[in-house]
Amino acid sequence: MKKLLLSAIAITMLMSSCVNDKTKKKNKPKEPIESVNISISADDKMRFNKTELKVKEGHEVTLILIHTGKMLKDVMGHNFVLLKKGTDIADFASKALQAVDNGYIPQSKDIIANTKLIGGGESVTITFIAPAKGTYDFICSFPGHYGVMNGKFIVE
Ligand SMILES: [Cu+2]
């Protein structure tokens, strides 16, 4: 009788430890990074088709920039440059002017993500992780474009 009781206790303990194991596993799920696709286009009239892009913090963003125009990259090139908060855009754009050989992308710590420069009929895709919640500026850094080719990149 005593033996039976002991084994009953042992079984109960074994069972409860099994249950505990399951709960432990449930409590720490491995969260996969969610991904989102966004697109933005630019044309021969020096315009982006969107002035606001919205994503969620920490999501993996795949952004495609499409140049819907026909003009060559040297004349009407476009890119997408996402800037850190507090960046002096005019100052950044003047640095970009010097970076002709790098598609007007200057060496800068102010860049979160950027595409290369493209011409009419081309497109380019980049992938990056959305930064912390907040509102960021994006521009096209081709000479003279940022004044009209800019928008807000909102991370929620
Ligand atoms: Cu442009």
Question: Tens of pLDDT along 56-80?
Answer: 999 999 999 999 999 999 999 999 9
CB 129 within 8 A of CB 61: yes
The enclosing H or E element of 38 equals strand 35-42
Quick one: CA torsion of 90, 95, 99, 102, rounded to 10 degrees? -70
Residues with CB under 5 A from ligand 1 (ion): 78, 140, 142, 145, 149
Q: 125: closest CA among 72, 81, 71, 65?
A: 65
Q: What is the pLDDT of residue 26?
A: 53
Ligand 1 centroid – CA 118 distance (Å): 9
CB 149 within 8 A of CB 140: yes
